[in-house]
C-alpha cells in the first residue's frame, strides 16, 4: 500500500513546488514508486520537471472534468520510478474557480488517490498557496503533510493558521500525520536568515520541526530554469543534498 503526502503552506513562494519535485525525485531515485501530482492550477510542476512543450498536456483537471482517463494522462519522466500527473488544461485559464469547485465537490480526487495508493504509489502532492478548498480537500485524503517555512522575517506569522488547518483536517481524517515543518531557503552567512532559523527552532516544539533545513542555492534556481529537479541537475549542491537527506528521513515513515 502506498501513501499520500501533501506539501502545503499558507504563504506563497516558500518552496512548496521545489520541495514536492525534489522530494518526489529523491524518493524515486532511491527506488520508491512515486507519483508527483500537481493540484495547483498555476501548474508550476510542469516547468520544474521539464515538460514545457508548446501544447499544454492534459492532467488532473481533465480527469476531474471527465474528459480524460487517469492512465492516459500520467506521464513518465527520466527517472524510471517517477511519474507525474500535471495540473492539466486548467493552467491555461485565468479563472480557476470552476476547477476549485470541482476538486472540492467531486469524489474523484479521493478515488484517484485511493487508486494510486492501492497500486503502491507514494503520492507527493503540490498544492496552491493558502488554505482554500483545494488544499483542504487534499488534506482530507492525505496521510502525511509537510509545511515549508521560508527563512525570512515574519516566517512564523502564518504557521499557527496552517497548524490549525492541519489539526482541523485531522479531526475528520484521523490518518493524517504532520511530518513536520521544513525550513527552506536558509541563507548561510546571512544574519537575518540565520536569526529567523534560530528563532523558529527556539519557538517550535522540536517534534514539529523536520531535522533538515534546505539552503538557498544558485543551483536550485538554475535547475528550475533548466526544467530539472536540483537533486538530478546538481546532486552535490547543498540544497540537493538536503533534499536527499529529507527523503532518507521521511522514507521509512511513508508506508
Ligand atoms: N533552495 C532554494 N534555493 C534557491 N531558490 C529557491 C529554493 N527553493 C525555491 N527557490 C525559488 O523560490 C521561488 C519559489 O519557490 P517555489 O515555486 O517552489 O515556491 P511555492 O511555495 O511553490 O510558490 P507558490 O506558492 O507560488 O506555488 C522559485 O523561484 C524557486 O526557484
Ligand atoms: Mg508552487
Tens digit of each residue's pLDDT, the chain (255 residues): 899 999 999 999 999 999 999 999 999 999 999 999 999 999 999 999 888 776 888 999 999 999 999 999 999 999 999 999 999 988 787 778 888 888 888 899 999 999 999 999 999 999 999 999 999 999 999 999 999 999 998 888 888 899 999 999 999 999 999 999 999 999 999 999 999 999 999 999 999 999 999 999 999 999 999 999 999 999 999 999 999 999 999 999 998
- Asked whether the whole model's pTM tops 0.75, one would answer yes
Q: Which atom of ligand 1 is nearest to the CA of 21?
A: 18
Residues 6+ apart with CB under 8 A from 181: 146, 147, 148, 149, 159, 200, 204, 208, 209, 210
Question: For a pocket test of ligand 1, which of 8, 15, 23, 44 has the largest count of ligand atoms closer than 8 A to its C-beta?
Answer: 15
Structural domains of the chain ordered from first start: 3-253 (3.40.50.300)
CA of 184 to the centre of ligand 1 (A): 9
| Eight-class DSSP state of 147 | E
Q: Rounded to an integer, what distance in angstroms lies between the CA atom of residue 243 and that of residue 251?
A: 12
Q: Are strands 3-7 and 122-126 parallel, antiparallel or unpaired?
A: parallel
Q: Rounded to an integer, what distance in angstroms lies between the CA atom of residue 157 and that of residue 168?
A: 19
Pocket of ligand 1 (CB under 6 A): 12-18, 40, 44, 129, 184-185, 214, 216-217, 220-221, 224, 239
Residue nearest to atom 16 of ligand 1 (CA): 15
Amino acid at each position: 500500500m502506498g501513501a499520500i503526502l501533501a506539501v502545503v503552506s499558507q504563504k506563497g513562494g516558500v518552496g512548496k513546488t521545489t520541495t514536492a519535485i525534489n522530494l518526489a525525485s529523491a524518493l524515486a531515485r532511491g527506488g520508491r514508486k512515486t507519483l508527483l501530482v500537481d493540484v495547483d492550477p498555476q501548474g508550476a510542476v510542469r516547468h520544474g520537471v521539464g515538460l514545457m512543450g508548446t501544447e499544454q498536456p492534459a492532467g488532473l483537471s481533465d480527469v476531474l472534468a471527465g474528459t480524460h482517463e487517469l492512465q492516459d494522462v500520467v506521464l513518465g519522466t527520466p527517472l524510471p520510478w517517477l511519474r507525474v500527473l500535471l495540473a492539466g488544461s486548467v493552467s491555461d485559464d485565468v479563472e480557476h474557480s470552476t476547477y476549485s469547485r470541482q476538486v472540492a465537490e467531486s469524489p474523484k480526487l479521493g478515488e484517484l488517490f485511493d487508486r494510486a495508493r492501492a497500486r503502491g504509489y507514494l503520492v507527493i502532492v503540490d498544492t496552491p498557496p493558502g488554505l482554500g478548498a483545494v488544499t483542504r480537500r487534499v488534506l482530507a485524503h492525505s496521510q502525511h503533510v509537510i509545511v515549508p517555512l521560508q527563512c525570512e522575517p515574519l516566517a512564523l506569522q502564518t504557521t499557527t493558521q496552517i497548524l490549525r488547518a492541519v489539526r482541523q483536517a485531522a479531526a475528520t481524517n484521523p490518518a493524517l500525520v504532520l511530518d513536520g515543518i521544513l525550513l527552506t531557503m536558509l541563507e548561510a552567512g546571512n544574519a537575518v536568515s540565520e536569526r529567523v532559523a534560530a528563532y523558529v527552532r527556539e519557538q517550535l516544539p522540536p517534534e514539529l520541526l523536520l531535522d533538515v533545513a534546505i539552503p538557498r542555492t544558485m543551483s536550485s534556481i538554475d535547475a528550475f530554469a533548466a526544467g530539472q529537479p536540483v537533486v538530478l541537475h546538481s546532486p552535490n549542491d547543498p540544497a540537493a543534498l538536503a533534499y536527499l537527506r529529507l527523503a532518507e528521513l521521511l522514507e521509512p515513515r511513508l508506508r
